[in-house]
């Protein structure tokens, strides 16, 4: 078992080193900005263009957004490593029922994606964020029951909550950023997305460790879900007390809520760049969610093949994955802010290829250590993918329908995951087919991104 602990320590040290270097770089950038500002202030014409409240507005924005973001993702990451083993090992549910539970969540996510974005644009993204907190608290409470229908209801709520989490928080943030005209400050949108994933990764590492401690202390995998509620409650309080409301084009108007027919017209009528983002989201995020379902049984299979019969430390492994994701997010920030080695589109294209190859290699090398490392490479790709995709969506999609389009982009990948999970069978053969299919799709998507997505 020392193997996983050693890898976790290595990720902690490596990430700590990169965080320190990033901190030094940020300090130098701040000093350079102060010098530049001083020079401009001595130029009477340029000084007139400086808004003295810009820095204050940027700080207020980050102080309001990031604490909520951290709490929301802490609640989500606390659940991640334990949901499969909760259903499969603690509640003794068959693999097919576990797959159907996961399928229910993704199906609920696909259906809700048709309307939650439009409702958020109409009635307010802040209100939708509060709805997410309430819905996810109910989903967490459902795991305390052993009643299968209650568990299915909880997964449906979880799917709805996931759609909200991936659409309305980002939609609120980007719109608020644009409304405050923060582009004129040193706070850049690409930097915010990089910080978001870095923070999410740090929280995920801590959540994996805390979840492992809670499970060991209480003897039940339900404990991390209860801890999630303790994160969502203060997040809801901050949202309700400190966030302002923002809307889409239909907000505060007499327009009718967008119908399903209008939704389909919007989906089919958007430009090639948005369709490319939708295809990329479908294949990459679909592969990611299938990975979430299959990584623990895949590692368990490799563990058994190595003639080990002890239990795997899932919390430690999950924390290592999140350490790899954090490393990926910091690499994104470094590439985008230092020497501009490549454009965001080129980075996104590279990341998709690396993710596909890492999944493919787990089929040919069944060694437990190699499988773990390839999974870490995949997670590092995830860490680079989300800020790159967030930045691309921020540029391409209009604020007026941002939450709606974000929701629409989640429909194809939810359907993709639902189909894959509905065909789930016991054994390694099916898992290998899934990984091979995902790998092939990711390689195709990389080519599509290169052709249709502009810098």
> Mind giving me the DSSP string for 299-317?
HHHHHHHTT--SPP-HHHH
With a CB cutoff of 8 Å and minimum separation 6, the contacts of 357 are: 439
pLDDT band at 305 (very low <50, low <70, confident <90, very high): confident
pLDDT at 400 over 50: yes
331-368 pLDDT tens trace: 888 887 765 668 888 899 999 999 999 999 998 888 88
pLDDT at 263 over 80: no
Looking at per-residue confidence, does 41 or 125 come out higher? 125
Looking at per-residue confidence, does 126 or 103 come out higher? 126
CB 383 within 8 A of CB 197: yes
Among 281-295, 370-384, 400-414, where is mean pLDDT lowest?
A: 400-414
If you average pLDDT over every residue of the chain, what do you get?
83
CB 125 within 8 A of CB 250: no
Report which of 55, 2, 57 is spatially closest to residue 30, judged by C-alpha positions.
55
List the Cα angle 159/165/167 in 5-degree steps: 105
pLDDT at 35: 55
Note the helical H segments in 270-343: 272-305, 314-337
pLDDT at 232: 97
pLDDT at 236: 97
pLDDT at 117 over 70: yes
pLDDT at 1: 52
pLDDT > 70 in the chain, percent: 85
pLDDT at 340: 64
26-56 pLDDT tens trace: 666 555 555 555 554 555 544 444 455 667 8
Q: What is the mean pLDDT of residues 418-439?
A: 81
Residue 345 DSSP label: H
Quote the CA–CA distance of 155 and 169 in Å, as a whole number. Answer: 21
Note the helical H segments in 180-259: 189-218, 223-242
pLDDT at 335: 83
Among 205-214, 251-260, 267-276, where is mean pLDDT lowest?
A: 251-260
Q: What is the mean pLDDT of residues 249-275?
A: 55
pLDDT at 445: 93
Report which of 353, 409, 408, 410 is spatially closest to residue 384, judged by C-alpha positions.
353
pLDDT at 46: 45
pLDDT at 20 over 50: yes
84-113 pLDDT tens trace: 888 988 888 887 888 889 889 888 988 888
pLDDT at 254: 43
CB 319 within 8 A of CB 208: yes
Q: What is the mean pLDDT of residues 206-217?
A: 87
Token duo for residue 31: 């000093």
Token duo for residue 91: 């509640």
Quote the CA–CA distance of 221 and 90 in Å, as a whole number. Answer: 7
166-202 pLDDT tens trace: 889 998 998 898 888 887 777 878 778 878 888 887 8
425 dihedral zone (left: phi>0; alpha: psi -120 to 50; beta): beta
Quote the CA–CA distance of 51 and 67 in Å, as a whole number. Answer: 26
Quote the CA–CA distance of 228 and 77 in Å, as a whole number. Answer: 9
For CA atoms 342, 346, 349, 353, the dihedral sign is negative
Q: What is the mean pLDDT of residues 409-437?
A: 79
pLDDT at 146 over 60: yes
pLDDT at 103: 84
pLDDT at 80: 78
pLDDT at 214: 92
Output phi, psi for 331, to 5 deg.
Answer: -65, -40
pLDDT band at 226 (very low <50, low <70, confident <90, very high): very high
Q: What is the mean pLDDT of residues 376-403?
A: 86
């Amino acid at each position: 078992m020392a193997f996983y602990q050693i890898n976790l320590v290595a990720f902690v040290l490596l990430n700590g080193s990169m965080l320190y270097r990033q901190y030094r770089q940020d300090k130098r950038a701040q000093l350079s900005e102060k010098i530049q500002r001083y020079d401009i202030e001595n130029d009477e014409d340029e000084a007139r263009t400086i808004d003295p409240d810009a820095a204050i507005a940027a700080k207020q924005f980050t102080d309001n957004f990031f604490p909520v973001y951290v709490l929301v993702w802490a609640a989500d990451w606390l659940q991640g490593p334990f949901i499969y083993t909760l259903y499969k090992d603690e509640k003794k549910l068959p693999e097919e029922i576990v797959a159907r539970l996961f399928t229910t969540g993704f199906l609920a996510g696909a259906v809700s994606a048709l309307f939650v974005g439009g409702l958020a644009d109409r009635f307010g993204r802040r209100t939708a964020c509060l709805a997410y907190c309430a819905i996810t608290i109910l989903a967490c409470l459902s795991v305390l029951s052993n009643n299968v229908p209650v568990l299915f209801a909880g997964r449906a709520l979880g799917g709805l909550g996931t759609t909200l989490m991936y659409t309305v928080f980002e939609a609120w943030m980007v719109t608020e950023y644009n409304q405050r005209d923060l582009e004129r400050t040193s706070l850049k949108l690409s930097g915010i997305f990089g910080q978001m994933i870095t923070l999410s990764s740090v929280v995920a590492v801590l959540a994996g460790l805390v979840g492992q401690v809670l499970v060991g202390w209480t003897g039940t995998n339900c404990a991390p879900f209860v801890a999630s509620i303790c994160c969502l409650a203060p997040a809801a309080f901050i949202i309700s007390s400190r966030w302002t409301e923002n809307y889409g084009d239909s907000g505060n108007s007499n327009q009718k809520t967008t119908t399903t027919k209008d939704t389909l017209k919007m989906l089919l009528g958007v430009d090639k760049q948005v369709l490319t983002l939708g295809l990329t989201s479908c294949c990459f995020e679909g592969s990611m969610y299938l990975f979430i379902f299959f990584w623990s049984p895949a590692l368990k299979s490799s563990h058994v093949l190595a003639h080990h019969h002890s239990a795997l430390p899932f919390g430690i492994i999950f924390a290592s994955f999140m350490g790899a994701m954090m490393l990926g997010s910091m690499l994104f920030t470094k590439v985008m802010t230092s020497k501009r080695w490549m454009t965001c589109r080129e980075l996104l294209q590279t990341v998709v290829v690396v993710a596909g190859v890492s999944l493919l290699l787990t089929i040919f090398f069944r060694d437990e250590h190699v499988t773990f490392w390839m999974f870490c490479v995949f997670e590092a790709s995830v860490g680079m993918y989300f800020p790159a995709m967030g930045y691309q969506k921020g540029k391409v999609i209009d604020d007026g329908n941002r939450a709606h389009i974000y929701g629409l982009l989640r429909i194809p990948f939810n359907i993709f995951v639902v189909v894959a999970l509905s065909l789930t069978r016991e054994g390694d053969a099916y898992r290998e087919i899934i990984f091979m299919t995902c790998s092939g799709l990711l390689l195709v998507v990389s080519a599509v991104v290169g052709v249709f997505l502009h810098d």
